Structure 1
């Protein structure tokens, strides 16, 4: 009220106001213009206050990010909240998808899909490339390196950012890799429903175009960290037509393989895992490894070479089996040398010593024909041995159908097998004056295809080579 009286008395010749007049002026409503002006003033002050707070927030975030000492002193919960607020107001909302090498107990197929798909993109999109070429490759191959980014587009949408990450273990060595795909949140539906489907489709097309048989091994796992297998291209030239085996035996094997491949629905109907087991047995040099290569070439299946002596526990074997792909051949050579105890001895040893993780015959049998054997389809397991009788002594259950369905005896060289070798090495498909002599000698000699093949390599002249075979057989 004093302020009102003071302002009124500043006017020349103004008379002091009475208390009633002062009260009426104080209680008189202000004009709309005055109210709007006060409201604008209040909003401006509020905005200034908000900007001051925001400036402090940005400054605090910058200090925390740029100063490791401060970052170490700030609680993680506060730091996460600070970054969340910063991203919400100043960054476009992002979604990041992770493509890791593993998916539970199995390999993640989406990692392979991303790797294959990006190989076709990196030459134009990435500044750093891995370049490689084997002796048999005509052209070099390119691959993405850890830390590199590839920016992709899809149906006019840009900013689909791929990146390969590499994690390191406590020893500083690379232990695992994974891809990330980052994009704006508003593109979520398009990416998940359309873009990823396109990535999968194009990856399959690339894989079919580049399709080669591979031989996998665990001896040198130098490829992608976190994987159980490394691989090379399998370029073994052996086919069924070139095998030095009995023709009827080859025919029966091909029929059995064809029947297995074509009976997917039958296996499902009868409730059996879609797999087949083969036992190849016979003396060394009779062609067991060559037969495996012929099977792989015939079926177009990759080959996994598993050395049981390197397995330390049943859980390790389970992980290794689950990391193999469908349409593949698992090879376990010289199974009689794997130092497996029969199940009675396993039970006795468990009672005498403290149980610890180990690789057992029971574990092997369960993975071949147990519940875990159904985790995959269209798979073949091939066992080889030079001494079948050792397996029979170890455990007859190992040889029964369902584990080793087909037993193939790889015998010493017969005349039919010799004729095939002569055709392969010397191009002789008809008669030769020395063939009858060699046939008579073979009836009383035990020689392997590998031994005769070595003799045939000594000369390309059929007469010289066959005379050398005769001399070899006579001295045998």
Structure 2
């Protein structure tokens, strides 16, 4: 078929038509910009893009850092696991290392992507970190609102839709198990404390540092029988997950450490943490203003951890379970004092043994006190404080361990030992006092002579010391027997139902 070039319009006509169309489009665009809001324009463009974009076969799983009030175990596991999948093509990373960390800690920067393969299937992880500001009203009525910084972190896991069941049923459990193994290999015990008072923001933040305390059961100046009982109880607790589930109890354990200052309560806590590789959460009750704060704090603690409340008898004055009396006006409305702190003994009891205490596994709760008799009996019952451990004054066996640890003296027939052990039996001296004396010289003989002088001086001023004359006359038999029984297994009281 022949084409006649005479039918093609001239170039001037084509350019004229193009100019007219361009002018019309510019006129329409100007009118739209003037009369149609930009938000409406963007909405229309998004709708057009949605209907005309190419379809994809990919599915995306969002793994957020927090799940409501609790942490997200999958997020933590993914962060740990993906640190072992670093590729050379990654452009931005955040690294850190603390004193006792095994290797460098690696975290991801904004929008970094990591490829992974499982059973021949390619998966892609992407890290997203959003920062936003919000206003949160503080609970203290005398304080204005404060501006707090809130962060949102999450991973996006992308993969082909046809592998969705495989990812959910096999890949995610695989990541969880691998993360447990990696954590066990790199585990460093951490000490957590509140970053701010719990009542002053809607989010509770625990700050942590590496636990540098070197205490172990081998270095504790404690009766061997007592150590053995505690270790056996800890081992029995950590291996009884199915037992606790079978009998319908929360997987937790409570210990009460009581005794005079300087007897090693804090050292025992550190030894337990180092033995089990459990993190410690040190809770100051003075930072807690109401019962709801305790629930928030409990939900922000990890599994396999130790919650410690030291000096519970004097940290804060707990109102009784009935609460303070409230006055009423003529209309029957109840009025409580403005400065009343809604933190009660009942709230503390529910915290350690109520429904909220079951929100977590493998947790240990430890209270310490210098005066057990000052505590409400409700705190001491079984299910709350399961084992009561009396941290007593130093015993001869404890002294031998201190001499071995501090001075490297292992000979039980050392000339000073007999006199020192005899004085320790008949007076009240703490392990901390003896340890301080042993540290005053690197020479073992000089240090032991100094300890003898210290004990002689203390014996003269100690009203509880039993003199040799009292022993010979028989007047001090009861006191001496009481001191000799101090560190045997009777110092551990198992509270049973």
State the structure with more CA Rg: 1
Residues 137 and 407 (structure 1), Cα distance of their counterparts in 2 relative to 1, 3 Å cut:
closer
**1:372 CA drift (Å):** 1.7
Aligned length: 403
Aligned residue in 2 for 1:415: 396
Aligned residue in 2 for 1:258: 235
1:241 counterpart = 2:218 = yes
Alignment of 1:8-23 (within 5 A): none
> Which piece of structure 1 moves more, 164-173 or 273-282?
164-173
Alignment of 1:149-298 (within 5 A): 149-158=113-122, 160-170=124-134, 173-219=149-195, 228-298=205-275
Q: C-alpha deviations, 1:2-49, integer Å up to 9, x for none? A: xxxxxxxxxxxxxxxxxxxxxxxxxxxxxxxxxxxxxxxxxxxxxxxx
**1:109 CA drift (Å):** 0.2
**1:216 CA drift (Å):** 2.3
Residue pair 1:101, 1:226 contacting (<8 A) in 2 also? no
117, 124, 135: which one pairs with 2:88? 124
Residues 70 and 415 (structure 1), Cα distance of their counterparts in 2 relative to 1, 3 Å cut:
farther
Residues 138 and 152 (structure 1), Cα distance of their counterparts in 2 relative to 1, 3 Å cut:
closer
User: Unmatched 5+ residue regions in structure 1?
Assistant: 1-58
Tell me which protein shows more helix as a share of its residues. 1
366, 375, 378: which one pairs with 2:359? 375
User: Unmatched 5+ residue regions in structure 2?
Assistant: 1-24, 135-146, 328-333, 459-497
Aligned residue in 1 for 2:410: 429
440, 448, 455: which one pairs with 1:466? 448
Residue pair 1:220, 1:230 contacting (<8 A) in 2 also? no
TM-score of the superposition, structure 1-length normalised?
0.76
Q: C-alpha deviations, 1:126-163, integer Å up to 9, x for none? A: 21111212234464332212333334444554462412
291, 297, 303: which one pairs with 1:320? 297
Aligned residue in 1 for 2:384: 403
Q: C-alpha deviations, 1:166-185, integer Å up to 9, x for none? A: 23223584523222223444
Aligned residue in 2 for 1:135: 99
Residues 282 and 169 (structure 1), Cα distance of their counterparts in 2 relative to 1, 3 Å cut:
same
Aligned residue in 2 for 1:438: 420
Mapped to 1, the partners of 2:453 and 2:221 lie a distance apart of: 21
> Which piece of structure 1 moves more, 328-337 or 259-268?
259-268
Residue pair 1:309, 1:338 contacting (<8 A) in 2 also? yes
Q: SS at 2:452's partner residue?
A: helix
Alignment of 1:95-134 (within 5 A): 95-134=59-98
Aligned residue in 2 for 1:311: 288
Q: SS at 1:215's partner residue?
A: strand
